[in-house]
Amino acid sequence: MVVLAASIVGKSGKVLVSRQFVDMSRIRIEGLLAAFPKLVGTGKQHTYIETENVRYVYQPIEALYLLLVTNKQSNILEDLETLRMLSKLVPEYSYSLDEEGICKTAFELIFAFDEVISLGHKENVTVAQVKQYCEMESHEEKLHKLVLQSKINETKDVMKRKANEIDKSKIEKGRGDKGGFMSLQSMGSGRIENNFSDMSISGGGGGGFGSGSGFGLSTDIESFSTKSKGRPPSSATAPPKGFGMQLGKSQKTNQFLESLKAEGEVILEDVQPKASQSRSAAPPLTDPITLTVEEKLNVTLKRDGGVSNFDVQGTLGLQILNQEDGHIQVQIETGGNPGILFKTHPNMNKELFSNENILGLKDPNRPFPTGQSGDAGGVGLLKWRMQTTDESIVPLTINCWPSVSGNETYVSIEYEASSVFDLRNVVISVPLPALREAPNVRQVDGEWRYDSRNSILEWSVLLIDDSNRSGSMEFVVPPADSSVFFPISVQFSATNTFSDLKVLNVIPIKGGAPPKFAQRTQLITDNYQVV
């Protein structure tokens, strides 16, 4: 068998792609291809034509012909097998089988033809092998990129360590300049380690919590310096202006980043959020005492039904604005859920909580810390946890049904929400195969958005209440395996919690009128997936 040329020809006779495999003159190849449209007749049952010198073996592809020109001594069975292999490759590289689509991917098709036919003879390869060979991956190139990326990561780590050291020096110096602050060396044994939250309850030498001049709230230095960048330091612990260095403004650092960008590397610059952004995320405190009840959901649901993991972690935080309101006790009420295990802070009076559901310090002479802390939840007083495999208590279930029909995949997704919770700002993120265009959304209850960079379809519902406990969406994409659409990620928030914890009263220990207090309650998703 000897294949002289492989071509894609329009039915009008226009040659779109042509690859010559043997030593022949260009004029002869063009003459053979020009003669082909005149030889093709209508109504013929076979797909080959023999002339005096050559044989044309062809296959119609919509408005085009995939054509092999061979000598007459060639084995026609091998010719047909080669033609079938090429017909499988053409749709892999050209999504639109018309003249415009073929011309756009002409070079890729020629390279693929070269992998199938070598010097006129068919190679024993598969479609997957041809695609792998055409990608031309280089191990050396990958190694070079890994080395370069490791150098960039190492440089970023050095910059972060330097930034942490500067932050520490600023905090220590700022505390030393203010009379109400104490240096870390002077805290001594007066510091009470708080293993429950990021904040630590500390007491000065002699005065403890009850000291009039002592500051009742200090931030753990290590946890402060390693906070996530999305949470700026609060004004209460910010160092005075004019001290220390300004990190990130040096010319050498900018030149280094610019040189990396010039080499084609993508540099993600860390942007410190403004104070206005942080205030919009967490409303400022207006009441003298604020208690925050927060529960975080970690849920993994199975795509065919059932619960793989269901974990609720809750905290009760306290924030006090004025120092004179620090001598208090907090009376709470829980919903009586037997599956929830409560655990108080080590500095809390455990017997008082067990007998009367009152949260108070072991030493009643010490006040609670005052001032707005860097953590929006305040100082942790109580935490709880609940784990179960009962699917009936899941606040939101997702059902995804992909089905392939012809050259399209129809995907139907529906949600069902529990009547216990009203869910806000619900976003259901569905991964999609790589698409050239946005999916065809035929029906949706709510709004949708296509993230082309990450190939994710986001389905959002502003509020799910008794009026829309269930909803659905249907969209169409090209053929894809059903596993492509998983895992589905879900985000939402609610004002109800599983613990149903409520603050009944704030009791002043030293007498007087009970101070005003406010309670904030929210349920948020930390990791909610359908796999």
Kindly state the average pLDDT of the residues 207-236. 39
Looking at 135, 163, 189, the residue that finishes a domain is 135
Does 269 fall in a domain? no
Sheet holding 48-50, edge to edge: 15-20, 3-10, 64-71, 54-61, 48-50
Token digits of residue 51: 């002339």
The three-state secondary structure class of 136 is coil
The three-state secondary structure class of 29 is helix
> Can you give the pLDDT at residue 61?
84
Going by pLDDT thresholds of 50, 70 and 90, the confidence category of residue 390 is: confident
In this predicted structure, the answer to whether residue 137 has a pLDDT above a threshold of 70 is no
H or E stretch covering 402: strand 396-405
372 and 402 together in one domain:
no
CB of 426 closer than 8 Å to CB of 492 = yes
Does 523 fall in a domain? yes
Looking at 106, 135, 164, the residue that finishes a domain is 135
For residue 507, give its domain range.
289-391+498-530
Kindly state the average pLDDT of the residues 324-328. 85
> Can you give the pLDDT at residue 402?
93
Does 251 fall in a domain? no
In this predicted structure, the answer to whether residue 361 has a pLDDT above a threshold of 50 is yes
Q: Given the structure tokens 């490759």, which residue do they identify?
A: 89
**Total number of domains in the chain:** 3
Nearest 5°: CA angle at 530, between 312 and 419? 60
407 and 462 together in one domain:
yes
> Can you give the pLDDT at residue 316?
92
β 64-71/54-61 pair status: antiparallel
In this predicted structure, the answer to whether residue 460 has a pLDDT above a threshold of 50 is yes
Q: How many Cβ atoms are within 10 Å of 433's Cβ, its own excluded? A: 14
Looking at 135, 164, 191, the residue that finishes a domain is 135
367 and 433 together in one domain:
no
Any long-range contacts for 418-421 (C-beta under 8 Å, 24+ apart)?
418/393, 418/394, 419/466, 419/469, 420/393, 420/395, 420/496, 421/395, 421/494, 421/496, 421/523
334 and 410 together in one domain:
no
> Can you give the pLDDT at residue 461?
94
318 and 369 together in one domain:
yes
| CB-neighbour burial class of residue 4 (10 A; exposed 0-12, middle 13-18, buried 19+) | buried
Does 147 fall in a domain? no
Does 228 fall in a domain? no
- The CATH number given to whatever domain includes residue 382 is 2.60.40.1170
> Can you give the pLDDT at residue 122?
82
Does 367 fall in a domain? yes
pLDDT tens-digit series, residues 181-202: 443 344 443 443 444 444 434 3
357 and 502 together in one domain:
yes
387 and 468 together in one domain:
no
Pick the range with the lowest mean pLDDT from 150-154, 279-283, 415-419, 472-476: 279-283
Going by pLDDT thresholds of 50, 70 and 90, the confidence category of residue 263 is: low
378 and 416 together in one domain:
no
In this predicted structure, the answer to whether residue 472 has a pLDDT above a threshold of 90 is yes
122 and 42 together in one domain:
yes
> Can you give the pLDDT at residue 258?
66
In this predicted structure, the answer to whether residue 215 has a pLDDT above a threshold of 70 is no
pLDDT tens-digit series, residues 440-455: 999 999 999 999 888 9
> Can you give the pLDDT at residue 210?
41
Going by pLDDT thresholds of 50, 70 and 90, the confidence category of residue 145 is: confident
127 and 14 together in one domain:
yes
Pick the range with the lowest mean pLDDT from 51-55, 216-220, 253-257, 409-413: 216-220
The values of phi and psi at residue 328, to 5°, are: -140, 170
Does 483 fall in a domain? yes
Does 162 fall in a domain? no
Computed over every residue of the chain, the mean pLDDT equals 78
CB of 82 closer than 8 Å to CB of 24 = no
358 and 505 together in one domain:
yes
366 and 504 together in one domain:
yes
- The CATH number given to whatever domain includes residue 109 is 3.30.450.60
Percent of the chain with pLDDT over 70: 76
